[in-house]
Amino acid sequence: MECNSLSQFSTVLEKLKDNAERTPDKLALNGDLGSVSYTLLEAQSEQLASQLIRDKGIRAGNIVPLVAGRTNNSLICMLALLKVRAVVYPIEVTNFNADTQKALMNDSELSFSDTLFASDLGITLEQLVLGAETNDLPETGIESGGFLYFTSGSTGKKKPVFVSAENISQRIANTTRDLGFDCYLKTLWCCSVSFDISLFVTLSTLYCGGTIITPRHVYLNEISGYLNTIKQYNVNFINQVPSFIQALCEFSDFEEKVKLKYLFLGGDVLTKDVLMQTLSCFDADVVANIYGPTETTMLATHYVIDQENYHNLNSLPIGKPFSGTVIEILDEDMQPMSYGEVGEIYIRGIGMCRYLNHDNSSFITCDSGTVAYQSGDFGYIDSNGDVVFEGRRDDQVKISGVRLSLSEIENHILKDNHLVGRVRIAKLSGDIKAVLNTDLLVFYILADSAKARQVPVFTNVIPPSVRYRAIRLDNFTYNENGKVAIKEMIATYAHFLSEQKSAVPISHDDPREQLVKTILGIDHFDHSKSFRELGGASLVALKLRAEMKKQFGIEIKIRDLLTSKQSLKELIGAVSDA
C-alpha cells in the first residue's frame, strides 16, 4: 500500500520565514501566557540561535537537552536550536528529574551538551536586540539538525531515536497537504514536549501559518482548564491520545458540544466506546484515527472516521498511509500477506529514522535499496484497503506453553462481557509474579450499565492454565503522555498487597493517611490543607478515588477533591462517616 511523495517541499524554517514576511502581524502563538507574532517569532528565534552559538558554544550536530513545557519561550528555544542545526532532546519540565535524566543519558553512551532550561532562556529573550546581525548562523536549506526521543516499547533498554529536520520537514509538508491544513488553524498545544506528536502539532501549525494556543495549565495531568482554553480561544484542532480525551469528557462540564475542524486521536488504541464518548462532547468536521511510530517521523497512516456508520465496524482501522509512505503486511519470511490475513506491519518511504548507539536491525534494507522499519505491530488490510491494527509483537506472551495476545483477550472481553467498560491486561516480570503468585493482572472498570455488586468473570477468555487476578478500578492511572500507565498500576497494586500481607505494620498512622501520602508523593500530610493545596491534580484525583474505594470502600467525588476548600483529612473523614 503506497502513497506518492512530493518531489519538492519547503523546510519548516523556510516556511516560518516566509510566513513572517507574508503575514508579519499574524499571531503564531496565543494564550494566557501571552501572544507572539510571526515576525517576532522569527526574529527572536534567530537572535537566540546566534546567542546560543556565541555564548553557549552550541554547534551543528550537538545534542542539546532542553527542559521545556508548552510555553511560548519553549517553542522559541526549539526553533533557535533548529536554526543552529543542533539536535534537540526535549524534556517535559513537569517530569524533569536531574538524576533520572543523567542516568538515561549516561546509559545511551551519547555525548550531550549542557542542559538548557527554557524558563531561564526566557530572561535572555527579553534582552535580545532584534535586527542585530546573525552572520554566524549556518546556511538554511535541508537542515542537518533535528530531535532526539527515547523510546522503549514495553521492555528493554531505552533507544535514542534521531529524527532529522529533513524528515520532519518532508513529513509535515506531505501530511499538511493530505489533511488540507491551512492558515486558519488554531491548535491546542496539549501534548507533552517529550511526546513526538507534540512536534507535529506545533510545527505543522507554523508550517501552514496557523496559530498555536498555549493553555493556562501547562501540566499534562491537569485536566481542568483545558475546556475553558478551547472555548476562549476558539481552538479548532486538537491532537491527543484517546485516554486523555476520554478523561477530558468525563471530568469537564460540556454544556454543549464543542465545535472543531480537526480532532485527531492517536498514540494508543482507539476503541468504539471511547469514540462514542468523544463524539458526544465534540462536533468535529474531521475525526481521524492516526498511527505512526517515532521511528518513522511522527506519523505513518490516518483513518478519517465515518461518524454516522463507524458502529458497523468490528474495530477502527488506522487507515491508509500518508503521501510518501508505504505500508506492507508481511509474514515471518517477509512475504506479503493476503487481504484480511494478519501479519507484521512494515513501513518504508520518507521519514525513516535511526537509533543512535543502538542496534538498528529493525531498519531493514530492501532489495530495491530502500529502508523499511519493522514496527513490531501486527495488523491486516481490510476489504476497503485500510490497515487494521491487531496488537504488538511484545504484546504476545507465552505462559505454561500457551501463547497469548493480551490485546486480543482485551478485545474479546469488551465484546463479550457486558459488565466491563474498559480493561487492560498486564504481563508481569518474574519478581512481581513471585510476590503476587499470578501470571497476569486484569485491570478493569465496570460498564455504566453494570450494577455495583456485579463481578465479571474472565475464565471464558483466559485459559485455565494461566493464573490471573482481576482488579476493579474506578479509573486507570495515566503517564505524562496521557497513556495508561500499566507499570505504575502494577507497582501500586504490588505495593499495597505486600503491605496488607505484612505481619508488622510499618507505621502506626491511619492507613488512609498512608495512602494519601503514597499517591500524592509527600512525606508529610498537612491536615489543614485541601487536596489542591497538597499538590493534587486531576489524574492524581482519579487514582486516589480508585484506591480509597478499593481499599476502604470510601466513595469520594472527583469534583469534591478538585473544588472543595475543605481540608483533605476532613473531606475523607466526612465521607467515611457518611
Query: Please, which pLDDT band fits residue 228 given cuts at 50, 70 and 90?
Result: confident
Query: Please, which pLDDT band fits residue 141 given cuts at 50, 70 and 90?
Result: very low
Query: Please, which pLDDT band fits residue 15 given cuts at 50, 70 and 90?
Result: very high
Q: Which residue has the higher pLDDT, 63 or 250?
A: 63
pLDDT, one tens digit per residue, over 82-122 is: 999 999 999 988 778 888 888 889 988 899 999 999 988 76
Position 260 pLDDT exceeds 60: yes
Please give the pLDDT value at position 401: 55
Position 217 pLDDT exceeds 60: no
519: closest CA among 499, 543, 496, 500? 543
Return d(Cα 109, Cα 91) in angstroms, integer: 18
CB atoms within 10 A of CB 358: 16
Question: CB of 427 within 8 A of CB of 397?
Answer: yes
Average pLDDT of the segment spanning 288-300: 94
How far does Cα 410 stand from its chain's mean position? 21
Q: What type of residue sits at position 306?
A: D
Average pLDDT of the segment spanning 393-399: 68
Q: Which residue has the higher pLDDT, 405 or 299?
A: 299
pLDDT, one tens digit per residue, over 468-480 is: 888 888 888 877 6
Average pLDDT of the segment spanning 370-397: 86
Average pLDDT of the segment spanning 287-304: 95
pLDDT, one tens digit per residue, over 523-543 is: 777 888 888 888 777 767 777
Mean pLDDT for all residues in the chain: 83
Position 249 pLDDT exceeds 50: yes
User: Which domains does the chain show, CATH number per domain?
Assistant: 403-503 (3.30.300.30), 508-577 (1.10.1200.10)
Position 328 pLDDT exceeds 80: yes
Please give the pLDDT value at position 508: 35
Q: Which residues of 411-431 are buried (b: 16+ CB within 10 A; e: fewer)?
A: bbbbeebeebebbbbbbbeee
pLDDT, one tens digit per residue, over 499-529 is: 554 433 323 356 777 778 777 777 777 888 8
Position 49 pLDDT exceeds 80: yes
Query: Please, which pLDDT band fits residue 461 given cuts at 50, 70 and 90?
Result: confident
All three cell numbers of 478, joined, read 495515566
Length of the chain: 578
- Kindly report the backbone phi and psi dihedral angles of residue 36, in degrees, each rounded to the nearest multiple of 5, phi listed first: -140, 125
Question: CB of 543 within 8 A of CB of 477?
Answer: yes
